[in-house]
Structure 1
Amino acid sequence: MKKAIAPQLLLLLITLVAWFSIAAQFSISIPILLAKGMTYGEAVWRMFGYLTILTNVLLAVCCTLLLLKPDSTPGRFFSRPGVLTAMTLYIIIVGLGYNLLLRNHAPFTGLHRLSDEGLHTVVPLLFVLYWLLFSAKSGLQAKDSLLWLIYPLAYFAMAMVRGGLSGFYPYPFLNVIQLGYPRVMANAAMLLMGFFLIAMALVAIARYRRQDLAID
């Protein structure tokens, strides 16, 4: 009985922290963007220019469906070993990227600090724990790592197109105006390699544990 309850409780905790942190981030940032002359639609569009927001919203939807509608078509999709492992990869990158590269650029306090820690530290740690302990891991192969790279590649392409049209680049290491295309492309290549290496590590962990070692 305890084994059946444990994953649900962890999913509930991740879901609550994720949605709270996302809502808090929007409640803080949208008024600031509106004060700069943006429309509400432009402000929301700007928020979804951040990999952190995109990934946390996607993960929050995933956990909500696994918690409330696991037998629905979307719920079955998100429960696939490959999808859950991809989600784990993406949220690890969000956590590592912020804590290794961006933390010193964001000396936030109060609710903003709470939201930032939720999105970049608490949710990543909790979801990795969920994946390690409760996610099915059968059938994962090294070639899956290449498929999982579509998401960061698509994000990079979107960031470059948006930046070229508006001059807005969500992260300093992607800022073509300040760094130039050669440096940004080199940064992107290094980050993509990081994605791939972490993906391969997750596949190796999954092979070690196997589905029969996951806690149902």
Structure 2
Amino acid sequence: MNKNTALAPRLLLLLIALIAWFAIISQFSISVPLLLAKGMTYGEAVWRMFGYLTILTNVLVAVACTVLLLKPESLPGQYFSRPGVQTAVTLYILFVGLGYNLLLRNHAPFTGLHRLSDEGLHTVVPLLYVLYWSLFVNKQGLQAKDSLLWLIYPLAYFVMAMLRGSSSGFYPYPFLNVTNLGYARVMGNAAMLLVGFFVIALGMVAVARFKRSELATD
């Protein structure tokens, strides 16, 4: 790999990290004061922010990109360099982007900095990270069975969201709101989303296999 080729993925990682951190910090700077104005403590407001899959996943992407840029040889760097881990992170942020743009985009028409942050979290970062994965991530060894392991993250999030909602009454997304929809419908929504998540995961494995076969024939 020549210097120009080696520089391209680092520049893309840097761009993703900068946009992700900017969007996360902007979102906190906007949302936390609004929650404080409603009578929440600072800790409660921050805890509420981390109730959103969008925030959790963008933090994961931002941390992964930062580690790969600054400490690629460290243990965390080696972990985030694994094909399965990088593909899982890509899958999670892709799911965030698709979920928002297909299901939630019209629920909150933001403006100004809030709009920039919202687009960064839900559109720009997902697109750029998928591009990074497609062009630069080693996909050697990915198998269909890995898709089952990748389901742990959304399942853990769903359990956390249900537990938090049952104790506080706060559900981060309308399709998870047990108070309005009831448990049966929420479980049905979750099952459909999980199936969609699994199908996307299998599709990514298929893409990885196609790219490997493409390289083998070059």
**Could you state the TM-score of these two structures normalised by the residue count of structure 2?**
0.96
Q: Which residue of structure 1 aligns with residue 188 of structure 2? A: 186
Q: Deviation per CA, 1:104-130, whole angstroms, max 9, x where unpaired? A: 001000000000000000000000000
In 2, the alpha carbon distance for the partners of 1:212 and 1:131 equals 16
Q: Which residue of structure 2 aligns with residue 198 of structure 1? A: 200
Structure 1 residues not aligned, in runs of 5+ = none
1:148 aligns with 2:168: no
In 2, the alpha carbon distance for the partners of 1:210 and 1:134 equals 12
User: Of 162, 165, 173, which residue of structure 2 is paired with 1:163?
Assistant: 165
8 Å contact from structure 1 (residues 138, 211) kept in 2: no
Q: Deviation per CA, 1:22-57, whole angstroms, max 9, x where unpaired? A: 000000000000001111110000000000000000
Instruction: Name the SS of the counterpart of 1:71 in structure 2.
Output: coil
In 1, the alpha carbon distance for the partners of 2:69 and 2:135 equals 16
When the two structures are aligned, how many residues end up with a matched partner?
214
In 1, the alpha carbon distance for the partners of 2:76 and 2:42 equals 29
5 Å-filtered alignment, 1:82-93, equals 82-93=84-95
Q: Deviation per CA, 1:105-160, whole angstroms, max 9, x where unpaired? A: 01000000000000000000000000000001000000000000000000000000
Instruction: Provide the aligned C-alpha RMSD in A.
Output: 1.2
In 1, the alpha carbon distance for the partners of 2:135 and 2:213 equals 10
User: Of 8, 15, 18, which residue of structure 1 is paired with 2:17?
Assistant: 15
Instruction: Name the SS of the counterpart of 1:31 in structure 2.
Output: helix
Higher relative contact order, structure no. (Cα contacts within 8 Å, ≥ 6 residues apart) = 1
Q: Which residue of structure 2 aligns with residue 130 of structure 1? A: 132
Q: Deviation per CA, 1:132-190, whole angstroms, max 9, x where unpaired? A: 00001000000000000000000000000000000000000000000000000000000
**Could you state the TM-score of these two structures normalised by the residue count of structure 1?**
0.97
Structure 2 residue identity aligned to 1:198: I
Structure 1 residue identity aligned to 2:65: C
8 Å contact from structure 1 (residues 136, 211) kept in 2: no
5 Å-filtered alignment, 1:1-216, equals 1-210=3-212, 213=215
Structure 2 residue identity aligned to 1:76: Q
Structure 2 residues not aligned, in runs of 5+ = none
8 Å contact from structure 1 (residues 66, 78) kept in 2: yes
Structure 1 residue identity aligned to 2:175: F
Deviation at 1:211, TM superposition (A): 9.0
Percent identity (aligned): 78
